């Protein structure tokens, strides 16, 4: 049996809680060809370079079809459930000029009009109310789950409000998202019986999810309602209306991202702070540090560990390697954010880190669409958690992780507490 | 307070605009313009904006009482 | 004591109690002072500035200040650290004696130095006819006072503004006029706006941009005279084709003049293009010999650049002031082998007519241009400049996120035309002549200039332009 590459090892479920030693190994070869022909990029400088390289496509449709003989568990096969269903591109899986136009069309409905983009800051009172409610709900408890009781409900409630997705449908699409993501695997375990058996379920979940989005958009087209999706379904802006299929695909992306990334960031923030009592204490004493603290947490435990839809359109020479045209490129943000060539003492949590130009939200034209909302949510949620929860202690370290490798996060973070301050 | 944005670094991500639109504005899709000496009551928003800049292009005066105003 | 130990002691001694004088209290002067203190210089530091204000930022003046959003006194620069300096503001330096190591001030005082930093920058070139320049309503824009005066005129709804010269500043002024719904006529000697900095191909795009925004743009023409009314207020501009444009406000944006007159007789390599220095900021004397105690930074410095055939470059750019000042200040309190080079890839930006124009490299060094990404028609694109098969510069219109790709290609002397983009290719991907004007044709001077190979180059003597 061939020895596994550091990347393959990093992807193993057993290493989900701590992939960092494998990333360190991986960075010894900044651009590392994998047995399936994927090029995995793990160093900060090379990732930033490729994020700004117009010879890199984000559109998986532009990749050559995988060779028939391609190895089991290859990326193509792994991503199948989602890609097979989502034939229309969304902003994260297309290139300019479509990407730029679609993003320009979406942005005003998310942040507000160009002259006064106030929609995100206007959400602050709502976010505070939700966070207050969640923390109030912990009163009288000795043990909480920072994921189910805190990290999950906030972003989901907010994204539903922003998009105009009925909250009562939430349990359904929660199930779809989880099922789809559990079926997605880029590592050696993709070939396992278990993952293979999940794939059909994953495909079905995405199909149902897509039908749900479709129906919702139809309803809004007939009868406008609140939120971004209705606004876009009825948009008569200068660049016209987004075709329904593209809009549905983007709607799915936003619901996915709204579910996964912010949840993981809040959960990881709580987990990380409980692992670093000094930092927790500092934040309690100096609450204003929540702003740089969230940046450091974005660096320290990136919610999107890597992204998988890019490929080289031309041969690209980088770091002594040539990525051949057509090759898939994975950019491992989680590793770049721990690159000692870029960050001093990268494995140390420093809430006051200067020059923290992390890639927690990526960079370039695909910079995270939801970043302003995510930041606001996490600053408020984590800030209030630190302020109000008395004597929080981690019950289990490491906590159990979810299966997904891209949207890496704990499934539960059990915390013993002594009560909730007002 | 005093700020300056290194507009060579700025790539028009506009995160600052969404966080403090009284201080930072876009002229069109990408050209950033801003108030270099905003009111002190905007400090929290400006600090949030500076922290959020993906290319760390916003510099805040380190002598006017800002938190963490120690020199580097 | 060994020689080595003596030299080390000398450096220590100088850092502890030397005397440094910085002439110029703008961006470069401030950042240099901060760097000196950051490097552990605890001696006496004197900063001399001819304007009465503490250091302020200039780029906002022709944009948000002129528009009336930001007051002119609101561009004070943030301080990165305490500098503990003796600030001599509102008094110009008028002479330099390198033998006695003294800077002479306008008020007659002399300030002694051990090491001197020249950061006197540039000033706006005035309208060449003094009587016409003195008419009320005739402006230039460089200082905060200039901006305040011009903004006041704009706030009084002038019937029409005439802008003479369509370089970056002139174009930005015209853009503000249109944003304020003020009629504006732009008169440019060259074939198009921005032609000196970006060439005729991009200039043509800029011209369409201006006209689409309602600018009355007249290219290939000069202004032969300005006429005032009996009250001494400007009323019209007479153009070289015989036409007359009525206007209440005239903005002369004719480029800048380097503030080197005070160095006359100092024996430094100072002239029209600035003060010659090595890539570490050490000034050359007139014979091309590097000096030990005089340094230069910012707009007034011209230094050889490794990427541009070691030609001397004069760069009137914001980042040149910042990084040049940091490098030079470091070198002022160090000796070989601890000198650092100022290896800046020049870059600039200009927001005008709702478009973000950015560039890296030295476009006028190129003779060809190729569109590489996006759509010229939509004014969202990237283009590269080349010379002899290598890429030397790039420009983007609302495509700033891609600029660093080109910066890396330029740094590595990458091929021209560069490898094609994988998507969003422009309609025309063939290289074409970049159409920079013949250097002898008067036009707005670009703000990065290649000034030849000689450290004391003076061949480009100032010739007053007949606009």
Task: Name the closest residue on chain B to residue A112, using Cα atoms.
Answer: B18
**Would you state the pLDDT for residue C396?**
98
Total domains present in chain B: 1
Report residue A256's pLDDT band, with 50, 70 and 90 as the boundaries.
confident
Is C84 part of the contact surface with chain B (CB cutoff 8 Å)?
Answer: no
CB contact at 8 A, C362 and C308: yes
Most distant CA pair in chain B: distance in Å? 36
Token reading at C161: 């503004």
CB C293 within 8 A of CB C114: yes
Range of the domain at B27: 3-60
When pLDDT is cut at 50, 70 and 90, the band that residue B59 belongs to is very high
Please report the pLDDT score of residue C441 as a whole number. Answer: 60
Write out the two tokens for B52: 């959020």
Supply the pLDDT for residue A65: 63
Q: CA-CA distances (angstroms) from residue C412 to A18, C132, C361, C391? A: 37, 49, 12, 9
Residue C458 has pLDDT above 60, yes or no: no
Structure tokens at C317: 């750019």
Helical ranges in A57-169 per DSSP H = 75-78, 80-85, 98-111, 119-122, 124-136, 153-163
- The residue written with tokens 């490491």 in the block is A398
Handedness of CA A387, A391, A397, A400 (dihedral sign): negative
Under the banding of pLDDT at 50, 70 and 90, the label for residue A114 is confident
Q: Residue A123 corresponds to which tokens in the numbers above? A: 């959400």
Helix axes C318-332, C27-38, angle to 10 degrees: 40
Lowest mean pLDDT among A354-368, C20-34, C435-449: C435-449
Q: Six-digit token pair at A324?
A: 């051949």
Q: Is residue B48 part of a domain?
A: yes
Confirm whether B65 is domain-assigned. Answer: no
pLDDT single digits (tens) A123-158 = 999 999 999 999 999 999 999 999 999 999 999 999
Q: Which CATH class is domain A6-416?
A: mainly alpha
| Within a domain: B53 | yes
Per-residue pLDDT of A115-125, as tens digits, reads: 889 999 999 99
Of residues A116, A291, A361, nearest to B21 (C-beta): A116
The answer to whether residue A79 scores a pLDDT higher than 70 is no
Q: What is the pLDDT of residue A88?
A: 86
- Partner residues linked to C238 by β-bridges: C225, C244
What pLDDT score was predicted for residue C100?
98
pLDDT at C77: 98
Show the tokens assigned to C97. Answer: 């004696």
Any B CB within 8 A of A116 CB? yes
CB contact under 8 A, B52 and A286: no
Position B39 in a domain: yes
Secondary structure E strands in chain B: 3-5, 24-27, 31-34, 58-60
With 0-12 CB in 10 A as exposed, 13-18 as middle and 19+ as buried, what is A68?
exposed
Q: Smallest Cα–Cα separation from B15: which of B57, B52, B56?
A: B52
Q: Whole-model pTM?
A: 0.94
Report how far apart, in Å, the C-alpha atoms of C119 and of each of A184, C226, C270, C327, C329 are.
Answer: 59, 34, 13, 13, 11
In this prediction, residue A66 has a pLDDT band, given cuts at 50, 70 and 90, of low
Q: Where is pLDDT greater, at A71 or C218?
A: C218
Give the per-residue pLDDT at B69: 37
- Assigned CATH topology for domain C125-255: FAD/NAD(P)-binding domain (3.50.50)
As a whole number, the mean pLDDT across chain C is 94
Is B27 in contact with C79 (Cβ distance < 8 A)?
no
**pLDDT digit string, tens, across residues C39-56:** 999 999 999 999 999 999
| pLDDT bucket at B72, cuts 50 / 70 / 90 | very low
Q: Where in chain C is the domain with CATH 3.30.390.30?
A: 347-440
**Which residues 309-328 in chain C show a CB within 8 A of chain B?**
317-319, 322
- More confident: C119 or A64: C119
Tokens of C179: 């944003």
Q: How many CB atoms lie within 10 A of CB A393?
A: 12
Query: What pLDDT score was predicted for residue A72?
Result: 44
Q: Which residues of B7-36 are buried (b: 16+ CB within 10 A; e: fewer)?
A: bbbbbbbbbbbbbbbebbbbbbbbbbbbbb
Contact B19 A121 (CB under 8 A): yes
CB nearest to B61's CB, from C64, C79, C400: C79
pLDDT digits (tens, 9 = 90+) for C196-229: 999 999 999 999 999 999 999 999 999 999 999 9
Taking an 8 Å cut-off on Cβ atoms, the answer to whether A372 and B52 are in contact is yes
Neighboring chain A residues of B55 at a CB cutoff of 8 Å: 357, 363
**Cβ distance of A54 and C401 shorter than 8 Å:** no
CATH of domain C347-440: 3.30.390.30
Q: What is the reported pLDDT for A158?
A: 96
Quick: pLDDT tens for A276-320: 999 999 999 999 999 999 999 999 999 999 999 999 999 999 999
Cα-based torsion angle of the residue sequence B64, A374, A345, A333 in order, rounded to the nearest 10 degrees? -140
Residue C96, pLDDT above cutoff 80: yes
Please state, for a pLDDT cut of 90, what percent of chain C lies above it.
90
Is C400 in the B-facing interface, judged by CB distances under 8 Å? yes
Report the phi/psi class of residue C181: left, alpha or beta, with left for phi > 0 and alpha for psi in -120 to 50: left
Supply the mean pLDDT for chain A: 92
Using an 8 Å Cβ cutoff, are C383 and C401 in contact? no
User: What is the average pLDDT across B22-42?
Assistant: 96
Residue of C nearest to A314 (CA): C422
Q: Around Cβ A64, how many Cβ atoms within 10 Å?
A: 9
Q: pLDDT grade, residue C460 (50/70/90)?
A: very low
Region A90-115: what's the mean pLDDT?
Answer: 94
User: Would you say A220 and A230 are in contact if contact means Cβ atoms under 8 Å apart?
Assistant: yes
Q: Where are the domains of chain A?
A: 6-416
Q: Label residue B71 by pLDDT band (50, 70, 90).
A: very low
The pLDDT of residue A389 is above 70:
yes
Contacts of A297 in chain B (CB under 8 A): none
* Domain CATH number, residue B28: 3.30.70.20
* pLDDT surpasses 50 at A74: no
Instruction: Give the 3-state DSSP-derived string for C45-93, with helices as H, strands as E and coil as C.
Output: EEEEECCCCCCECCHHHHCCCCCCCCCHHHCECCCCCCCCCEEEECCCE
Q: Is the pLDDT of residue C443 over 90?
A: no
Q: What is the mean pLDDT of residues A385-407?
A: 97
Q: Cα(C32)–Cα(A157) distance, rounded to whole angstroms? A: 51
The count of CB pairs under 8 A between chains A and C is 48
pLDDT number for residue B64: 78
Asked if pLDDT for residue B67 goes beyond 70, the answer is no
Q: Is residue B71 one of the residues assigned to a domain? A: no
Cβ within 8 Å, pair B52-A288: no
- Subunits with 3+ Cβ pairs within 8 Å of A are B, C
Q: Assign C144 a pLDDT band (cuts: 50, 70, 90).
A: very high
Which of A286, A352, A372 minimises the CB distance to B15? A372
pLDDT digits (tens, 9 = 90+) for C326-353: 999 999 999 989 999 999 999 999 999 9
What band does A237 get if pLDDT is binned at 50, 70 and 90?
confident
Yes or no: say if C223 and C162 are a contact pair by the CB < 8 Å rule: yes
Closest CA to C265 of C98, C71, C67, C143: C98
What is residue A37's predicted lDDT score, i.e. its pLDDT?
95
Q: Alpha helix locations (H) across C182-295?
A: 195-212
Mean pLDDT of C236-262: 96
Instruction: Please list every residue in chain C whose beta carbon sits closer than 8 Å to the beta carbon of residue A365.
Output: 401
Interface test with C, best of B22, B35, B37 (most C CBs within 10 A): B37
- How far is C372 from chain B, CA to nearest CA, in Å? 18
Q: Are A382 and A293 in contact (CB under 8 A)?
A: yes
Which of these ranges, A353-362, A392-401, C449-458, has the smallest mean pLDDT? C449-458
Q: How far A330 CA sits from the closest chain B CA (Å)?
A: 21
Q: Is the pLDDT of residue C444 over 70?
A: no
Using DSSP's 3-state secondary structure scheme, residue C245 falls into strand
Q: What is the pLDDT of residues C66-84, one digit of tens each?
A: 999 999 999 999 999 999 9
Is B12 inside a domain boundary?
yes
Q: Is A211 helix (H, G, I), strand (E, B) or coil?
A: helix
Q: Which residue in C357, C309, C297 sits closest to C22, CA to CA?
A: C297
Bridge partner list, C375: C380
Per CB-CB distance under 8 Å, the chain B contacts of A115 are 25
* Structure confidence by residue, pLDDT tens digits, C276-298: 999 999 999 999 999 999 999 99
Strand partners, C89: C49
- Find the closest chain B residue to C354 by CA distance: B28
Q: What are phi and psi of B18, to 5 degrees?
A: -70, -25
Round the CA-based radius of gyration of chain C to a whole number and report it.
Answer: 23
Residue with tokens 């190895």: A71
Annotation: CATH topology of C3-59+77-123+257-332: FAD/NAD(P)-binding domain (3.50.50)
Q: Which pLDDT does position B65 carry in this prediction? A: 60
């Amino acid at each position: 049996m061939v020895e596994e590459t550091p990347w393959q090892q990093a992807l193993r479920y057993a290493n989900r809680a701590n992939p960092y030693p494998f990333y360190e190994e991986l960075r010894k070869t900044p651009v590392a060809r994998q047995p399936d022909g994927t090029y995995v990029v793990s160093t900060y400088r090379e990732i930033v370079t490729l994020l700004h390289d117009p010879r890199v496509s984000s559109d998986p449709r532009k990749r050559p079809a995988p060779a028939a003989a391609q190895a089991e568990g290859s990326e193509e096969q792994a991503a199948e459930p989602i890609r097979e269903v989502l034939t229309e591109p969304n902003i994260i899986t297309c290139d300019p000029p479509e990407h730029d136009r679609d993003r320009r069309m979406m942005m005003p409905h998310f942040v507000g009009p160009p002259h006064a983009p106030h929609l995100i800051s206007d959400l602050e009172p709502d976010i505070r109310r939700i966070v207050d409610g969640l923390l109030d709900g912990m009163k009288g408890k000795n043990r909480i789950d920072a994921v189910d009781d805190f990290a999950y409900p906030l972003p989901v409630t907010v994204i539903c409000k922003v998009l105009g997705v009925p909250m009562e449908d939430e349990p359904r699409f929660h199930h779809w998202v989880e099922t789809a993501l559990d079926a997605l695997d880029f590592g050696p375990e993709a070939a396992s019986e278990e993952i293979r058996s999940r794939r059909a379920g994953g495909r079905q979940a995405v199909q149902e999810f897509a039908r749900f989005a479709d129906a919702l958009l139809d309803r809004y087209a007939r009868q406008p309602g609140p939120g971004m999706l209705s606004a876009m379904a009825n948009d008569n802006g200068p660049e016209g209306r987004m075709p329904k299929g593209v809009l549905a695909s983007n709607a799915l992306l936003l619901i996915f991202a709204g579910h996964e990334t912010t949840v993981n960031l809040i959960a990881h923030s709580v987990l990380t702070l409980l692992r670093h009592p000094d930092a927790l204490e500092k934040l309690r004493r100096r609450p204003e540090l929540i702003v740089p603290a969230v940046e450091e947490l974005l660096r320290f435990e990136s919610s999107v560990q890597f992204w998988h839809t890019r490929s080289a359109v031309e041969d690209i020479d980088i770091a002594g390697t040539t990525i051949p045209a057509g090759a898939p490129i994975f950019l491992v943000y989680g590793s770049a954010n721990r690159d000692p060539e870029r960050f001093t003492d990268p494995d140390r949590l420093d809430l006051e880190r200067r020059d923290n130009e992390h890639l927690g939200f990526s960079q370039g034209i695909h910079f995270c669409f939801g970043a302003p909302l995510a930041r606001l949510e996490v600053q408020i949620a984590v800030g209030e958690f630190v302020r109000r929860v008395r004597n929080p202690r981690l019950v289990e370290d490491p906590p159990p992780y979810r299966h997904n490798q891209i949207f890496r996060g704990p499934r539960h973070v059990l915390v013993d507490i002594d009560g909730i301050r007002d | 307070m005093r700020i300056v944005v290194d507009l060579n670094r700025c790539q028009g991500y506009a995160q600052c605009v969404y966080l403090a639109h009284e201080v930072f504005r876009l002229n069109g899709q990408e050209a950033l313009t801003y108030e270099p000496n905003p009111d002190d009551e905007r400090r929290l928003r400006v600090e949030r904006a500076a922290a959020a800049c993906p290319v760390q292009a916003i510099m805040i005066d380190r002598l006017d009482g800002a938190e963490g105003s120690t020199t580097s | 004591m060994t020689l080595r130990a003596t030299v080390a002691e000398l450096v220590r001694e100088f850092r502890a109690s030397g005397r440094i004088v910085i002439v110029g209290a703008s961006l470069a002067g401030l950042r240099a002072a901060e760097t000196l203190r950051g490097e552990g210089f605890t001696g006496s530091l004197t900063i001399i500035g001819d304007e009465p204000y503490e250091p302020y930022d200039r780029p906002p003046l022709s944009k948000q200040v002129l528009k009336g959003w930001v007051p002119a006194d609101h561009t004070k620069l943030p301080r990165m650290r305490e500098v503990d300096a003796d600030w001599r503001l509102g008094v110009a330096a008028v002479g330099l004696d390198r033998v006695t190591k003294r800077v002479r001030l306008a008020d007659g005082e002399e300030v002694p130095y051990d090491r001197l930093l020249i950061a006197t920058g540039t000033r706006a070139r005035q309208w060449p006819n003094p009587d016409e320049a003195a008419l009320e309503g005739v402006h230039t824009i460089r200082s905060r006072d200039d901006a305040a005066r011009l903004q006041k005129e704009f706030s009084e709804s002038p019937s029409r503004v005439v802008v003479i010269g369509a370089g970056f500043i002139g174009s930005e002024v015209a853009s503000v006029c249109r944003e304020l719904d003020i009629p504006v006529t732009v008169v440019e000697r060259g074939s198009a706006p921005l032609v000196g900095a970006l060439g005729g191909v991009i200039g043509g795009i800029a011209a369409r941009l201006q006209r689409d925004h309602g600018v009355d743009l007249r290219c290939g023409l000069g202004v032969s005279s300005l006429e005032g009314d009996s009250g001494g207020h400007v009323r019209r501009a007479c153009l070289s084709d015989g036409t007359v444009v009525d206007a209440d406000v005239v903005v002369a944006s004719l480029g800048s003049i380097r503030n080197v007159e005070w160095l006359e007789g100092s024996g430094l390599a100072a002239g029209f293009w600035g003060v010659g220095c090595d890539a570490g900021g050490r000034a050359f004397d007139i014979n091309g010999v590097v000096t030990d105690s005089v340094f230069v930074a910012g707009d007034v410095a011209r230094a050889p650049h490794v990427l541009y055939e070691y030609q001397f470059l004069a760069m009137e750019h914001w980042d040149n002031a910042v990084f040049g000042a940091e490098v030079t200040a470091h070198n002022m309190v160090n000796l070989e082998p601890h000198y650092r080079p100022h290896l800046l890839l020049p870059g600039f930006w200009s927001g005008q007519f709702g478009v973000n124009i950015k560039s890296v490299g030295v476009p006028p060094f190129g003779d060809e241009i190729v569109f590489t990404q996006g759509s010229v028609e939509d004014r969202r694109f990237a283009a590269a400049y080349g010379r002899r098969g290598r890429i030397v510069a790039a420009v983007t219109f609302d495509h700033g996120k891609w600029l660093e790709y080109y910066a890396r290609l330029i740094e590595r002397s990458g091929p021209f035309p560069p490898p094609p983009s994988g998507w969003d290719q422009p309609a025309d991907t063939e290289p074409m002549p970049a159409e920079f004007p013949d250097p002898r044709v008067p036009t707005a001077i670009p703000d990065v200039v290649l000034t030849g190979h000689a450290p004391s180059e003076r061949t480009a003597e100032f010739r007053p332009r007949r606009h």
